[in-house]
Amino acid sequence: MHPRLLAPFDAFERRKSNFLSELAGLDEAQLHFRPAPDAWSLLDVADHLSRVEAAVAETLADGIPPDRAQRKLKHVVKFRMVLLALSLPVRVPVPGNAPGVKPGDGLTLDGVREAWAASRAALAEQLASYGDEDMQRMVVRHPVAGPVNPRHTIAFLNAHFDHHRYQVARIRKHSDFPAAAA
């Protein structure tokens, strides 16, 4: 993997591993707890993170058409706005043009772990294919921010992951969050 991508990718991998270890220490009631009927559970959050990575890996594999890969000033501004929004501990809805990243049904921790391992492997494979000449090339079209390069792709994924850590904290601090089974 390109040296400019390796450190942020490794940090991203550590975050994922730590989160999955955290989830492994919880029981089923805690994993599936929803603070409200329309809210996500901890497993939903993990599944969503996996699906976002899978969508990014798929976009990297398919590429984006050259006519949609032109980065303009408005895209730079939008990208920074996305990163700013993700840095805040507030709910940010899934973009309407990205329904495939919403959590699935019937989730299990093992299933999410397997799906996430597959999406992470696909993402790593795609990122490993980039050389110096690709660092400024637009490789992903974010549903809100527009086209981004490989470094910004990882920056988005890290910011997105960190944003959901706020959500995880809110779920775990909820007054009705189940106590650990004895």
- Block means of pLDDT (10 residues each) for the chain, length 182 residues? 92 93 96 95 96 92 77 88 90 78 92 95 93 89 88 93 94 94 70
| Fold classification of 3-91+106-173 (topology level) | Four Helix Bundle (Hemerythrin (Met), subunit A) (1.20.120)
pLDDT at 66: 73
Contact of 172 with 39, CB cutoff 8 Å: no
pLDDT at 182: 64
Q: Residue 124: which residues within 8 A CB-CB, separation 6 or more?
A: 1, 9
Contact of 161 with 49, CB cutoff 8 Å: yes
pLDDT at 141: 86
Domain boundaries, the chain: 3-91+106-173
b (16+ CB within 10 A) / e for 113-151: bebbeebbebbbebbeebeeeeeeebbbbbeebbbbbbb
